[in-house]
Chain A
Amino acid sequence: MNAKVDTRALMVIALCAGMLALPLPAVAQSAPAGNAEAGRQLMVRKGCFQCHGREGQGAPITGPRLGPSPLALAAFVRAVRNPRAQMPPYTEKIVSDAELADIRAFLDSRPRPTSIDALVPR
């Protein structure tokens, strides 16, 4: 379990990886609806949750937030197939376009954030 990558460098990378959550150029598409429940299971089975959390909420060091309001499907698929930052690539052999649509549907269905003010006053 000894860290192989400098943790502070990872922080910098994670910040860079945050670009994944930024809007990419709009891509014309007719997005399939996707199955959110199937997407929930795929988040775990495909290992997405390992860096992004079970609900794609993101984590400060390892992976940005993915949902709710994920990227448009075409941009989402592009980001998974050809990641620009630290994320490893996931080809169609590993996760199909249809499965990505399901995952995106799950991410889109996530609730808005809860206020933390009660526990963490300003």
Chain B
Amino acid sequence: MGKLRDSPLDRRDFIKHAVTGATALTASSSLAADQAAVAPQSDAKPPDNSPRETEILTQGSSGSDYMVDVLKSLALDYVCVNPGSSFRGLHESIVNYGGNKAPEMITCCHEESAVAMAHGYFKIEGKPLAVCAHGTVGLQHASMAIYNAYVDRVPVYLVLGNTLDATMRQQGYEWWHSVQDASAMVRDYVKWDDTPASLPHFGESAVRAYKIAMTPPYGPVVIVADTELQEGPVPEGANLRVPRLTLASPPQGDSGAVAELARLLVAATNPVLIADKLARTPAGMQHLIELAELLQAAVISQNGRMNFPSQHPLNQTMRSEAAIGEADVIVALEAANIFGALHAFRDQVHRTSRPLTKAGVKLASITAGDLYLKSNYQDFQRYPEVDVAIAADAEATLPSLIEAVKRLITDDRRRTFQERRTRLATASRAAFDRARTDAGYAWDSTPISTARAAAELWSQIRNEDWSLVSSAFGPSSAGFSAWPLRLWKFEKPYHHIGATGAAGIGYGAPATVGAALANRKHGRLSVSIQNDGDLLYGPAALWTAAHHKIPLLIVMNNNRAYHEEVMHVQRMSSRRNRGPDSVTVGLTLDNPAIDFAKLAQGLGVYAQGPISNPADLGPAIKRAIEVVKRGEPALVDVIMQPR
């Protein structure tokens, strides 16, 4: 890049002018004079940019070294990278100047995998990872995973390479890999972005981006690192410093509204607490337990986070419809889909919704979502008609709500609450007993039933310090049709990582690798129930796990189909009276059957299978766990029933 220093125009000045171009254009008179001064002469020769004889070919300082100083100040543990020349300067600084530590580079084979890894990592560790990508083709690859993170309110810290100065781009691919406004493509589903025009600007924006990403509601952010700023030397007299990071405290609910909600809850006959993305941190679960036990209130977890112990006597998730039907006060905690929770939707020719609540029920919500909405991507769901709306972070608000409730509870109410607890505990136990019975049907069936697989896996991990790092809920990403949530004891904050966000497929494999990376230093046994269709979006995430020695047990939920869609198309064919004969066309992953064990082995991962005899499953998982305990990933391919 030495030749760039000889450019007749200083590129940093160019960037500043480009960024502020719209403003500059209004200064018409002086600009016109400048243009006249540099106007080409009719007999002028083409510019000669050939190297001078005394060309300087090395440099003593680099802008990207400063960028690494800034990134280090943010305590980013890792940076997930699929390499790209538009951030080659930063790449080199991370591994050499930064010593490849904090952040340490993780090699990913697709930008979507890189972002999903960061997504999964945060779900365990509560810290964002950095991701570097091309501003064009890299971001295009990454966009689906960014959308998942956005909908899941998870911070991901993206740094995009880009060459804004068109005269400095190498012919050909650098033009294809450059863009006028790099972040524009994902601006609808990132929380903030900026394109710094100088190194001091980069420093401020990089720290600001982290602060914004980590202020609830969390979200992904993008910083564009121009190649000129990365690759060039630090300008003389730049006097660079790293701005100090101070995270903002999360917004807490208004005291009056909190007091009103406390009165409703204490007076209620059947209060219900619905939690979705409540537990941002381990404290969130503890707060919910304290509030629920104070009131002896029913809790329903929508499992966006590990909100509440699955077998707590007050956990009514498995009988949620009944609990909602009994409720006279319902409080939604970081639950965007309140309408969906309170209505039964019917997907027939005429789509209808039936309320599950009884007349007169009082509804309240506490969500930072009320402070942050965008228009185009409509993840905010149906408008909730609530009686009390507290625009605040629910986890941060629960302590004051707990104190307000404590002040109102009398001995009489306490006795009533205890009676309620007994009733709820009985109902909860009955629901679990039914689930245990239901799990035993089709026990010896081949392909293996989802319940049997969940039970066999639980049998092998229950005495370990385990962490389910795949999504625990949802037809398209649920492990074994959500049987683990019915049969396993989820008690600790890291026992599951919640949902995917936007149900964009391709999240599963890399997110589990990212979560397992976070679990590695804690010595936990990371367990993934991996859907076949999802793995095919980005199987090379397995190689990343092998390359970086990330211990992870992967048990395939291989039903040889995009099965969620099978059910959708079958619904259409039945509605149209055409029958099921052809509904699997375009939906099955068979003929030839995919050998996931061989696929994993080819990527350097220990693997067994396919296993279709249920009696073989437990021993296979046990062997795989022995491999994982040596610090490696291991995969067991299991041929499963679709549901």
Decide whether A and B assemble into one complex: yes
Do the beta carbons of A16 and B321 come within 8 Å of each other?
yes
Interface-lining segment among B207-215, B222-230, B260-268, B567-575: B567-575
The number of chain A residues touching the other chain, given as a range, is 35 or more
Chain A residues within 8 Å of B442, by CB: 53-55, 57, 110
- Check A70 for interface membership: any CB of B closer than 8 A: no
Report whether A52 and B443 are in contact in the complex, using a CB–CB cutoff of 8 Å.
no
Contacts of B441 in A (CB 8 A): 55, 57-58, 65, 110, 113
The answer to whether A3 and B475 have CB atoms under 8 Å apart is yes
B490-519 at interface with A (beta carbon < 8 Å): 499, 503-505
Partner pick for B320 among A1, A15, A49, A111, CB 8 A cutoff? A15
Q: Name which of B98-106, B174-182, B281-289, B343-351 contacts chain A.
A: B343-351
Q: Taking the nearest CB of chain B, how far is it from the CB of A73, in angstroms?
A: 20
Interface centre among B443, B566, B575 (most CB of A within 10 A): B443
Q: Contact flags (1/0) for A89-122 with B, using CB distance below 8 Å?
A: 1110110000000000000001101111011101
Contact, CB under 8 Å: B455 / A1: no
Q: Assess whether A50 is in contact with B458, with CB atoms less than 8 Å apart.
A: no
The answer to whether B439 touches A116 (Cβ under 8 A) is yes
CB–CB A89/B643 < 8 A:
no
Highest count of chain B CB atoms <10 Å: which of A5, A11, A16, A113? A11
* Chain A residues with CB under 8 A of B451: 57, 116
Interface size class of B (residues with CB under 8 A): 35 or more
A50 and B487 contact, CB distance less than 8 A:
no
A54 and B641 contact, Cβ closer than 8 Å, known pairs A8-B340, A12-B344, A88-B574: yes
Q: Please name all residues of chain A whose beta carbon is closer than 8 Å to the beta carbon of B534 when the two chains form the complex.
A: 1
Q: How far is the CA of A49 from the CA of B580 in the complex (A)?
A: 12
Which of B53-61, B358-366, B477-485 contacts its partner?
B477-485
Compute how far the CA of A12 lies from the CA of B578 in the bound complex, rounded to whole angstroms: 28
Closest chain A CB from B352 CB (angstroms): 11
Kindly report which residue of chain A lies nearest to residue B643, judged by CB atoms: A59
B549 within 8 A of A: no
Minimum CB–CB distance from A66 to chain B (whole Å) comes to 10
Which residues of B does A touch, CB under 8 Å? 302, 320-321, 337, 340-341, 343-348, 356, 381, 435-445, 447, 449-451, 455-456, 458-459, 473-478, 481-483, 486-488, 499, 503-505, 533-534, 562-568, 570-571, 574-575, 577-581, 583, 618, 641-643
Pick the 3 closest A-B CB pairs, nearest first.
A113-B440, A7-B474, A47-B580
Not counting A6-B381, A12-B343, a sample of 18 additional A-B residue pairs whose C-beta atoms are within 8 angstroms of each other reads A1-B476, A1-B565, A5-B345, A7-B473, A9-B337, A9-B343, A13-B344, A50-B570, A51-B643, A53-B442, A55-B449, A57-B438, A61-B475, A61-B478, A91-B577, A94-B574, A111-B443, A119-B455
14 contacts between A and B (CB under 8 A): A9-B337, A12-B321, A49-B642, A50-B570, A54-B447, A55-B442, A59-B481, A61-B482, A89-B348, A94-B578, A94-B580, A113-B437, A119-B455, A120-B488
